[in-house]
Amino acid sequence: MFIESNINNQKKVGTIEVVAGSMFSGKTEELIRRLKRAKIAKQKVEIFKPAIDIRYSGTEIVSHDENSIHSTPVDNSANILLLAGDVDVIGIDEAQFFDKGLIDVVAKLANMGIRVVVAGLDMDFKGVPFGPIPGLMAVADHITKVHAICLRCGNIAQFSHRLSEKEQVVLLGEKDIYEPLCRSCYREANQL
């Protein structure tokens, strides 16, 4: 038998949302949009980013079109769990730069009833699944794949082509080092 007094005693349910795509596809813009809407709804929001990402700011998440929101830089995924506090929503940007432990951290947060929104590159410059993003996509409740526009032909772009000859996987950069390309232009640029 349903008792009306139980309506407001429902268990808080957490979720995992992943926004993934190539460079210049609007991942951070979408993350900022979702987090600002949560703040408008008077939800408690905490935002994290990898400490190594200081391209625009040391303490803000900044999109390529210069929208920003305050964040806490952390050195590893375990720190997110330690710093989470009493919140409703947690945002994590540039998730590909975190360790694989991020998958467990995000799952624990969601199991605690927190909505977790994660944004990151799904592939590195070689077209290989990047860091914890594939694992996060596997455990996510909702996945949004965003795309850029190919700078060479104008089609939908899903690859981050590196213009530099440097081979290390993690190389922070902007339009001077990366360009978004479609599958065909990416294959042509890499002679595949």
- The domain ranges of the chain are 12-146
Q: Model pTM?
A: 0.87
- Residue 127: what pLDDT? 95
The Cα–Cα gap between 30 and 147 comes to: 12
- CATH H-level, domain 12-146: superfamily: P-loop containing nucleotide triphosphate hydrolases (3.40.50.300)
pLDDT-derived band at 1, boundaries 50, 70, 90: very low
Question: Which tens digits make up the pLDDT trace of 125-144?
Answer: 999 999 999 999 999 999 99
- Active site (catalytic) residues: 94
The three-state (H, E, C) secondary structure of the chain, written as one string:
CCCHHHHHHCCCCCEEEEEEECCCCCHHHHHHHHHHHHHHCCCCEEEEEECCCCCCCCCEEECCCCCEEECEEECCHHHHHHHCCCCCEEEECCHHHCCCCHHHHHHHHHHCCCEEEEEEECECCCCCECCCHHHHHHHCCEEEEECEECCCCCCEECEEEECCCCCCCCCCCCCCCEEEECHHHHHHHCCC
